[in-house]
Amino acid sequence: MNLFKGLFICFSVNAFADTEVQQTINLAVSNATSGSASQLGIRLNQGANAYFNRVNSQGGIDGRAIKLEQLDDGYEPYKTLKNTQQFLERDDIFAFFNYVGTPTAHAVIKQIKNSGIPFLMPFTGAEFLRVPVLDNVYHLRASYYQEAEQQINYLVGSKNIKDIGLLIQADEFGISVEKGYLMALESRGLKPTVTTRYRRNTNDVALALSILKEKNVQAIAFVGTYEPFAQLINSAHQQNFKPFFTTVSFVSSHELFQRLTQKSDVLVTEVMPDPNTCEEDICIQFIEDMKSQGIENFDQILFEGYLNAFVFAEVAKQCDAILTRSCFLEKLANFEHKQKGLSISFKNNNHQGLSSIFLNFPPLSPKN
């Protein structure tokens, strides 16, 4: 695509969205439904579709159904870029929605920023999507910096652990969370004992584990996906190396915990409440809707997709019969949902809707 063609596409898409009415409200989704992070995309989409099915069965948004236009990127940035360019060539996409991952978002953020098309609720806590604030980018989940702070606070404050090693996915995701860990450690007068790295979309953690074991660290702060993290924990246990393990919500505690073969000391910070124990009306409704879709196992990923869809639909309804991007973004900036334990409102300084962090441990993992 040459420059002039790209400019024409962005202009025509934006103009069309604000002057004509489509029969459906199409949301463009590029996320992983195959590969090592596939369950993140699959379950995020399942959660969103459950809520949109509810809305569509009740007449949609002023008679218009909401539809996810899904493409698989396998958690590979070049595929995300290809998918996003494909969406940009269409004239019927209202917003980008449910993208998964930091390296994937990093690959497309310039095109999305220039397009002016809303980029809504990406599954990442990366700081570059929050600061500086981008007019068309909004997040529901808390940031990786907030998660990293809570993990280091727990390790140092509650467990009195100061000898901490880092194992970082070698890409923008790793860089983003690593900065959070470094800031949290520095604020306590600490530095990592050692920093190791591994390649995205692999389980190639053996060398890093040998380095961390040689340093005999008390804890390992990990950045990556659930499969290599499970491999790391299980392999360490087999080698009689038993540090405390911690990581951010992207790993998905649900997916990780079911892959652990031994009792291990593990902390996963989550940015959504556990829908199995949440007593809010939206949580109860979520479980009912998931069961109606034939899904019986509930986790934070499904619930996050559901909440993403809830926020989108509630904001879209406020634009009455004329749903345009400009109206949607204006209403989203002022959106508030207040329930005890789950209050959503978007901050002006980062366009982030939630800030709660939840500490999640495996069933057999000691918490004290």
Cα separation, 271 vs 273, whole angstroms:
7
Q: Tens digits of per-residue pLDDT, 244-275?
A: 999 999 999 999 999 999 999 999 999 999 99
73 within 8 A of 80, measured Cβ to Cβ:
yes
Q: Which of the pair, 367 or 189, is modelled with greater confidence?
A: 189
141 within 8 A of 346, measured Cβ to Cβ:
no
Q: Tens digits of per-residue pLDDT, 326-346?
A: 999 999 999 999 877 789 999
Grouping H, G, I as helix, E, B as strand and the rest as coil, residue 183 is: helix
> What is the percentage of the chain residues whose pLDDT exceeds 70?
93
Cα separation, 80 vs 73, whole angstroms:
5
Q: Tens digits of per-residue pLDDT, 189-207?
A: 999 999 999 999 999 999 9
Beta strands in the chain (DSSP E): 24-31, 65-72, 93-97, 119-120, 137-138, 164-169, 194-198, 219-223, 244-247, 266-270, 336-337, 344-345, 358-360
Residue 22 is inside which H or E element, if any?
A: none
Cβ-count burial of 25 within 10 angstroms (0-12 exposed, 13-18 middle, 19+ buried)? buried
Inform me whether the pLDDT recorded for 76 exceeds 50. Answer: yes
Cα separation, 97 vs 276, whole angstroms:
25
Inform me whether the pLDDT recorded for 10 exceeds 90. Answer: no
Type of residue found at 45: N
Inform me whether the pLDDT recorded for 60 exceeds 90. Answer: yes
Residue 151 tokens, joined: 């993990």
Q: Tens digits of per-residue pLDDT, 276-285?
A: 999 899 999 9
Q: What's the pLDDT at 363?
A: 86
Mean pLDDT over all residues of the chain? 92
181 within 8 A of 149, measured Cβ to Cβ:
no
Average pLDDT over residues 164-179: 97
Inform me whether the pLDDT recorded for 1 exceeds 60. Answer: no
